A and B are shown apart, each in its own frame.
Chain A
Amino acid sequence: MVYELQRLRRLHILLVDDDPEALQRIQHAVGIDSYLYHARTFLQARQHLAESIPDIVICELKLGKESGLEFCRFIRNTPALHHLPIMFLTTFTTLQDKIAGFNAGADDYVIKPYDARHLMARIRLLTRMKDIEQGDE
């Protein structure tokens, strides 16, 4: 199985999270399977997106006083970015948080802690699913 997965295209992933442990965990999860870019703030993430568009954005729901929901809406309202798959990977677990996340335009909502292999599979399947959706348009 590992041999087979290594044949998959390396994804470009933008992680937006200010927690060093979260970065370390996801680095471990994606391994050599993907290129991981990291932003500690949503402002940094916007700057990154102005220069380079990843295959998927993975972000926390809230960083300090910054809102991931607002960041999510920014992506959805920006024509060049609006198809980007967005996954919230977060410690916020309430139903209200989840509903707000999807209402803001997120495609997936995963709660920490997570299983690394499971997460990587979800990332891949989500990017594939968005490709199918775009093919519909």
Chain B
Amino acid sequence: MKKVLVIDDNPTIVELIKYAVNLQSSFEVMVAYDGEEGLKSVYAENPDCVIIDVKMPRMDGYKLVRCLRGDTRTANIPLIILSAMTREEDQMTGLLSGVDEYLTKPFKPGALNAAIERVLLLTPADRQRRMDYLLQTHAERE
């Protein structure tokens, strides 16, 4: 059974995510309630996918994503941000940090499960292509 780690400081949201993911009944769901605890859980549990909130105590979601992408041991774990921050700039920051999908709250269980299925299929080459694309479209040009 694949392991999904949920990192969110709001217990109510965590329960909603667990409910949504459990609808699939093919994932084991683990939980951490802040960024640092989440980081430790990633190394301890080696999850197949991580769902990350942005605004959390003790390391926000963007930093957590960059931290994981900066270590070859965790660089290719599928990462989804699920955040109440809905502005385009917020989503861009998430994508530039290296997240695979950026979903906003409130969310539909079907959309979350579809995102999980999508990111589980991504390869390191897919991530490199994404990074190249982001460079093309968003990095500064002369």
Interface residues of A, Cβ cutoff 8 Å to B: 1, 4-5, 7-10, 93, 95, 98-99, 102-103, 107-111, 114, 117-118, 121-122, 124-129, 131-133, 135-136
29 contacts between A and B (CB under 8 A): A4-B136, A8-B141, A9-B140, A9-B141, A10-B142, A95-B39, A95-B40, A98-B39, A102-B59, A107-B63, A108-B66, A108-B67, A108-B70, A109-B70, A109-B71, A111-B70, A111-B71, A111-B72, A114-B72, A118-B128, A121-B134, A122-B98, A124-B135, A124-B139, A125-B135, A126-B66, A128-B138, A132-B93, A133-B93
| B130: nearest chain-A partner, CB-CB | A121
Minimum Cβ distance to chain A for residue B69 (Å)? 8
- With a 10 A CB-CB cut-off, give which of B63, B70, B132 has the most chain A CB atoms: B70
| B87: nearest chain-A partner, CB-CB | A136
A93 touches B71 (CB 8 A): yes
A7 touches B141 (CB 8 A): yes
Q: In the complex, what residues of B have CB within 8 A of residue A135's CB?
A: 89
- Other A-B pairs, 10, CB within 8 Å; known A5-B135, A118-B128, A121-B135: A95-B40, A95-B43, A109-B70, A110-B70, A117-B128, A121-B132, A121-B134, A125-B98, A128-B140, A132-B89
**The 6 nearest A-B residue pairs measured at CB:** A110-B70, A129-B96, A124-B139, A125-B96, A9-B140, A121-B131
| B40: nearest chain-A partner, CB-CB | A95
Cα(A132)–Cα(B39), bound, Å: 25
A99 touches B36 (CB 8 A): yes
Cα(A44)–Cα(B93), bound, Å: 32
Q: In the complex, what residues of B have CB within 8 A of residue A98's CB?
A: 39, 67, 71
Q: In the complex, what residues of A have CB within 8 A of residue B136's CB?
A: 4
| B138: nearest chain-A partner, CB-CB | A128
Q: In the complex, what residues of B have CB within 8 A of residue A5's CB?
A: 135
Q: A129-B97, A132-B92 are in contact. Are A8 and B36 (CB under 8 A)?
A: no
Other-chain residue from A8, A99, A129 in contact with B135 (beta carbon distance below 8 A): A8
Cα(A4)–Cα(B137), bound, Å: 11
Cα(A103)–Cα(B40), bound, Å: 15
